[in-house]
């Protein structure tokens, strides 16, 4: 019997006979954060104690999409059936959550059911808002416009890059928080390298349009990336937000965020990073802050108002860069704090803001940015990670997927803190 077939048989998909059911821990979302937490907690609390509400049939390893868009990985390698990643110890409730009632310790779901809980973990990810840029939803995936951010469009990036005959190539960064803030420029560096290898870079004008005032938030890595962009002859345009795409005439309209002036730029290829926001069901919910992010303490990950509610990953207002690496760092903290809360003990684990952004700068080189809440480096290896390095590229491309599928999703990878201490022979301060 095929290994995945076996896993599929073991996962229990709950379809409730009555309209109500109850769990010790209910996890909302079966993405990176939901899987990491639910797997680990089900091992500690036993079978049937943890329920996961997740409507999707497929789980994607999204960090691979940069390489899929650049033709260095196949799309199929980034996906697995949800039943193959869901722990056999949890009940998978295959529907979407539609309403929160934290005063009554229960949620409502799309199939008209109510689920009660003792503890709730919210791991709903971030929403892609292609529709917020005029004309974008209609043309993304067609006529030279692509985005690595969606499973529906990532394969078109590679097709357009490969078929490109030269001209204007644009890469954008929106005026909202996004997941993996390095991804909008990663694909640009790989595209540059591809076109150089094909001997056609002289026919291409590459421009980066970002809403941010700088190339990257963490200063140490920004210094390297400014240099990389310069060497690659990339035109950098900061404080520019994409507000409209005219697919037929291949024109992108940007607003200068300082002067509000609009400028129209012709393109032959454009990689768009869409605006993003908290999932609609969180906006205005009792669990969310004024914007819609789940309102948690940035260190304990416990909800600021409801002590039996915790949040993890992209859907929270934890002020760090939204990545799977951050999810790893948060998952161990959340798990231990939630178990402590169950025992009536103080929450002692503190998340330090650890996040990571591996930035490939060509096919074969990568800057491994790792930093904390303040953008201060929290580097695992005892070398200068702000330099482009070859081993990091292969670590990201070939080792990270193994770590994600086999350790992170199973709740066995809490980030590289221990590795960092070992690699620095215990001499590191954090």
Ligand X SMILES: Cc1cc2nc3c(=O)[nH]c(=O)nc-3n(C[C@H](O)[C@H](O)[C@H](O)COP(=O)(O)OP(=O)(O)OC[C@H]3O[C@@H](n4cnc5c(N)ncnc54)[C@H](O)[C@@H]3O)c2cc1C
Say which DSSP state 268 is in: S
Closer Cβ to ligand X, 339 or 409, answer by number? 409
The single residue among 194, 325, 333, 367 that binds ligand X, judged by CB under 6 A, is: 325
Closer Cβ to ligand X, 339 or 367, answer by number? 367
| Minimum CB–partner distance for residue 362 and ligand X (Å) | 16
Q: Quick one: which segment of 61-69, 164-172, 209-217, 231-239 binds ligand X (CB under 6 A)? A: 61-69
- Whether 231 is catalytic is no
Q: Which of residues 32-51 bind ligand X (CB under 6 A)?
A: 32-34
Q: How far is CA 403 from CA 57, 173, 201, 370, in A?
A: 22, 28, 35, 17
Q: Quick one: which segment of 63-71, 130-138, 158-166, 196-204 binds ligand X (CB under 6 A)? A: 63-71
Cα radius of gyration (the chain):
22
The single residue among 30, 141, 275, 329 that binds ligand X, judged by CB under 6 A, is: 30
Q: Are strands 106-109 and 97-101 parallel, antiparallel or unpaired?
A: antiparallel
Does position 180 interact with ligand X (CB under 6 A)? The reply is: yes
Place of tokens 């169950």: 342
- Whether 180 is catalytic is yes
Does position 275 interact with ligand X (CB under 6 A)? The reply is: no
3-state secondary structure of 397: helix
Does position 204 interact with ligand X (CB under 6 A)? The reply is: no
Does position 54 interact with ligand X (CB under 6 A)? The reply is: yes
Does position 91 interact with ligand X (CB under 6 A)? The reply is: no
Does position 27 interact with ligand X (CB under 6 A)? The reply is: no
The single residue among 322, 335, 389, 420 that binds ligand X, judged by CB under 6 A, is: 322
The residue sitting closest to ligand X, measured at its beta carbon, is 31
- Compute the distance between CA of residue 135 and CA of residue 143 in angstroms, rounded to an integer: 13
What is the pattern of x (binds ligand X, CB under 6 A) and - over residues 148-167? xx------------------
The residues pairing with 33 across neighbouring beta strands, listed in sequence order, are none
| Minimum CB–partner distance for residue 420 and ligand X (Å) | 16
Q: Quick one: which segment of 12-20, 29-37, 112-120, 343-351 binds ligand X (CB under 6 A)? A: 29-37
Backbone angles phi, psi at 322, to 5 degrees: -80, 105
Closer Cβ to ligand X, 122 or 201, answer by number? 122
DSSP string, 127-182: EE-GGGSBTHHHHTTSTTEE-TTSTTTHHHHHHHHHH--SEEEEEEE-SS--BSTT
- Compute the distance between CA of residue 140 and CA of residue 264 in angstroms, rounded to an integer: 18
Q: Quick one: which segment of 122-130, 252-260, 289-297, 338-346 binds ligand X (CB under 6 A)? A: 122-130
Q: How far is CA 278 from CA 125, 313, 315, 338, in A?
A: 8, 11, 6, 23
Those residues whose C-beta lies under 8 Å from the C-beta of residue 301, and which sit 6 or more positions away, are 310, 311, 312, 316, 318, 330, 333, 334, 337, 351
Q: Quick one: which segment of 27-35, 244-252, 405-413, 417-425 binds ligand X (CB under 6 A)? A: 27-35
The single residue among 26, 70, 90, 97 that binds ligand X, judged by CB under 6 A, is: 97
Q: What H or E segment, with its residue span, contains residue 28?
A: strand 20-28
- Compute the distance between CA of residue 39 and CA of residue 399 in angstroms, rounded to an integer: 21
Does position 323 interact with ligand X (CB under 6 A)? The reply is: yes
Backbone angles phi, psi at 310, to 5 degrees: -130, 160
Does position 55 interact with ligand X (CB under 6 A)? The reply is: yes
In the complex, the residues that contact ligand X under the rule CB under 6 A are 28-34, 53-56, 62-63, 65-66, 96-97, 123-125, 148-149, 179-180, 183, 279, 281, 313-315, 322-325, 327, 356, 358
**What residues are labeled active site?**
180, 357
């Amino acid at each position: 019997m095929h290994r995945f077939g076996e896993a599929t048989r073991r996962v229990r998909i709950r379809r409730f006979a009555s309209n109500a059911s109850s769990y010790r821990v209910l996890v909302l979302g079966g993405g990176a954060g939901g899987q990491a937490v639910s797997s680990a907690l089900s091992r500690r609390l036993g079978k049937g104690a943890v329920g996961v509400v997740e409507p999707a049939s497929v789980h994607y390893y999204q960090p691979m999409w940069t390489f899929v868009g650049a033709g260095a990985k196949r799309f199929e390698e980034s996906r697995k059936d949800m039943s193959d990643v869901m722990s056999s110890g949890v009940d998978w409730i295959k529907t979407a959550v539609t309403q929160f009632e934290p005063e009554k310790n229960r949620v409502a779901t799309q199939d008209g059911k109510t689920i009660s809980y003792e503890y709730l973990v919210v791991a709903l990810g971030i929403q892609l808002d292609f529709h917020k840029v005029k004309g974008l939803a209609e043309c993304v995936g067609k006529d030279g416009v692509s985005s690595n951010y969606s499973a529906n469009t990532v394969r078109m990036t590679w097709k357009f890059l490969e078929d490109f005959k030269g001209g204007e190539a644009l890469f954008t960064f929106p005026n909202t928080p996004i997941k993996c803030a390095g991804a909008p420029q990663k694909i640009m560096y790989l595209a540059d390298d591809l076109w150089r290898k094909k001997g056609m870079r002289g026919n291409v004008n590459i421009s980066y349009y970002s809403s941010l005032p700088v190339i990257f938030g963490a200063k140490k890595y920004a210094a390297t990336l400014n240099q990389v962009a310069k060497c690659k002859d990339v035109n950098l345009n900061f404080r520019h937000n994409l507000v409209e795409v005219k697919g037929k005439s291949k024109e992108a309209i940007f607003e200068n965020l300082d002067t509000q002036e609009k400028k129209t730029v012709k393109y032959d290829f454009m990689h768009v990073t869409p605006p993003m926001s908290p999932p609609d069901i969180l906006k205005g919910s009792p669990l969310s802050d004024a914007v819609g992010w789940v309102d948690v303490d940035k260190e304990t990950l416990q909800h600021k108002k409801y002590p039996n509610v915790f949040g993890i990953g992209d859907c929270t207002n934890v002020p760090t860069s939204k990545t799977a690496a951050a999810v790893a760092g948060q998952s161990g903290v959340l798990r231990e704090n939630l178990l402590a809360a169950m025992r009536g003990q103080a929450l002692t684990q503190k998340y330090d803001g650890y996040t990571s952004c591996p930035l490939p700068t060509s096919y074969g080189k990568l800057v491994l940015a790792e930093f904390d809440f303040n953008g201060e480096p929290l580097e695992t290896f005892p070398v200068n990670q702000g330099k482009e390095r070859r081993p990091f590229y292969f670590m990201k491309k070939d080792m990270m997927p193994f770590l994600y599928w086999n350790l992170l999703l199973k709740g066995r990878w809490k980030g590289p803190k221990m590795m960092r201490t070992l690699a620095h022979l215990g001499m590191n301060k954090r």
